[in-house]
Amino acid sequence: MYDSAKLPATTNFADPIRSRGHRGGVIPMHRALAHFRLGPMNLVTSISLFFFFSAIWLVLLPRLCRFWSQLLAWSLPRLPLHASLDLNEYHLSSFRLQIPYLRMEPVLPTPSVWIPTCVVTLLLFAITSLVPRKLMPVTYLTRAILLIQASALLYFALWPLHFKHSPDSYIEALVNSGIGLISIVPLLFALTYYIFDFGLWKKAVLTALTMTHLAIFLPFQVLVQALILQKSVLFMPLLYIVFGIALDVMLIIAFYSWGMSWHFRSATE
Give the model confidence (pLDDT) of 130-166 as tens digits: 989 888 999 999 999 999 999 999 999 999 888 888 9
State the chain's mean pLDDT as an integer.
86
- Shared domain for 158 and 169, answered yes or no, is no
- Shared domain for 194 and 225, answered yes or no, is yes
pLDDT at 249 over 80: yes
Q: Kindly report whether the global pTM for this prediction surpasses the value 0.85.
A: no
pLDDT at 2 over 50: no
With respect to residue 22, please indicate whether it lies within any of the assigned structural domains.
no
- Shared domain for 230 and 185, answered yes or no, is yes
- Shared domain for 258 and 199, answered yes or no, is yes
pLDDT at 20: 63
Q: Which residues are CB-neighbours of 27 under 8 A, at least 6 positions away?
A: 19, 20, 21
With respect to residue 173, please indicate whether it lies within any of the assigned structural domains.
yes
- Shared domain for 81 and 184, answered yes or no, is yes
Show which of 127, 162, 197 is a domain's final residue.
Answer: 162
With respect to residue 215, please indicate whether it lies within any of the assigned structural domains.
yes
Taking the C-alpha atoms of residue 263 and residue 197, their distance in angstroms, rounded to an integer, is 9
- Shared domain for 53 and 141, answered yes or no, is no
Least confident window among 7-11, 32-36, 80-84, 228-232: 7-11
With CA atoms as reference, report the closest residue to 182 among 226, 218, 224, 220: 218
User: Residue 118 belongs to what domain range?
Assistant: 109-162
Domain count, the chain: 2
- Shared domain for 135 and 250, answered yes or no, is no
Q: Higher confidence at residue 46 or residue 210?
A: 210
With respect to residue 98, please indicate whether it lies within any of the assigned structural domains.
yes
List alpha helices for the chain, DSSP H: 10-17, 31-34, 40-75, 111-127, 136-158, 167-183, 185-192, 200-229, 236-241, 245-260
Encode burial over 195-222: b for 16+ CB neighbours within 10 A, e otherwise: bbbbbeebbbebbeebbebbbeebbebb
With respect to residue 26, please indicate whether it lies within any of the assigned structural domains.
no
Show which of 123, 142, 162 is a domain's final residue.
Answer: 162
With respect to residue 60, please indicate whether it lies within any of the assigned structural domains.
yes
pLDDT at 95: 79
With respect to residue 134, please indicate whether it lies within any of the assigned structural domains.
yes
- Shared domain for 96 and 175, answered yes or no, is yes
With respect to residue 216, please indicate whether it lies within any of the assigned structural domains.
yes
- Shared domain for 136 and 168, answered yes or no, is no
- Shared domain for 135 and 227, answered yes or no, is no
- Shared domain for 182 and 257, answered yes or no, is yes
- Shared domain for 143 and 256, answered yes or no, is no
